[in-house]
Structure 1
C-alpha cells in the first residue's frame, strides 16, 4: 500500500508551520478550481438560454420578412377584389405586424430569464470567504 504524506491537520500535532501552510494552500487551490468549474457550468447554462432567446429574435425577424413578402402579396391580391388596393395592402401589413410583435415579445421574455452573473458561484464564494474569516463557526 502506498504511503501518503497528507494527513488531516488534526493528526499533525507535530507539523511545522510550513507543512500547515502548504496544506492550507493546497486546499485553497482545490477550492478555487472547483469554484472555477462551477462558474463555467453556470455560464454555459446561461449562454444556452441566451442562444435560444436570440434564435427566437432571429426567427421573429425571418418570419416577419417572409410573411410580409409572400403572404401579403397573396392576401392583397385577394382583398383587392373587394376593396381598393391601398386599403387591402394596409390591412395585410397590420396583421403581419401583430404576428411579428408577438414573436418579439416572446423572445424578449425569454431573454429576461438569462442571468449573466453565475449566482451559485457568487453565493459559494461568499460562503467560502466567510468561512476563511471565521473557520470555527
Structure 2
C-alpha cells in the first residue's frame, strides 16, 4: 500500500503549519488561563479560612478584655470567669482556623500543571522525526 499523494506545495504546507501552530498556542494560553483561574479560586477559599480565623481571634480578644474588666470591677465575683472561659475557647478556635487556613495555603500549588504537561507533550510531538 502506498501513502496518499499530497499535491500541496511546500509554501502551502508551511502556511498550514503556521495556522495550526497559532491555534495550538491560543489553546495552550486558554488552558493556562482556565487552570490559573481555578487555582486562584481555591487559594481564595483558603484565604477565607484565614480571615475567618482572624475574625474569631479578634472576637476572642474582645471577650478576654471584657473578662478582665469585669474581673477587675468585681474583684473575685464569678461572672468574669465565664467570660474568661468563653474568651479562651473563642481564641482557641480562631487559632485553629488560622492554622488550618495557612497550612492549606502553603499546600496549594499555583503551578499550571495541566498546561505544563500539555506544553511538554507538544514539544515531544514536535521533536519526533518521521520514521
Which TM-score band applies after superposition, normalised by the shorter structure? 0.7 to 0.9
CA distance in 2, matches of 1:29, 1:11: 26
Equivalent residue pairs, number: 126
CA distance in 2, matches of 1:29, 1:77: 71
Q: Gapped runs of 5+ residues in structure 1?
A: 1-9
TM-superposed CA distance for 1:65, in Å, is: 0.8
| Aligned ranges 1:60-99 → 2 under 5 Å | 60-70=53-63, 73-74=66-67, 77=70, 80-82=76-78, 94-99=88-93
CA contact (8 A) 2:47 2:101 kept: yes
Contact 1:72 1:92 in 2 (8 A): no
From 26, 37, 43, the equivalent of 1:44 is 37
Instruction: Give the alignment of 1:1-137 within 5 angstroms.
Output: 13-70=6-63, 73-74=66-67, 77=70, 80-82=76-78, 94-134=88-128, 136=130
Q: Structure 2 vs 1, CA of residues 73 and 135 (structure 1 numbering), >3 Å: closer, same or farther?
A: farther
Taking only aligned residues, the RMSD between alpha carbons, in angstroms, comes to 3.3
Displacement of 1:96: 4.0
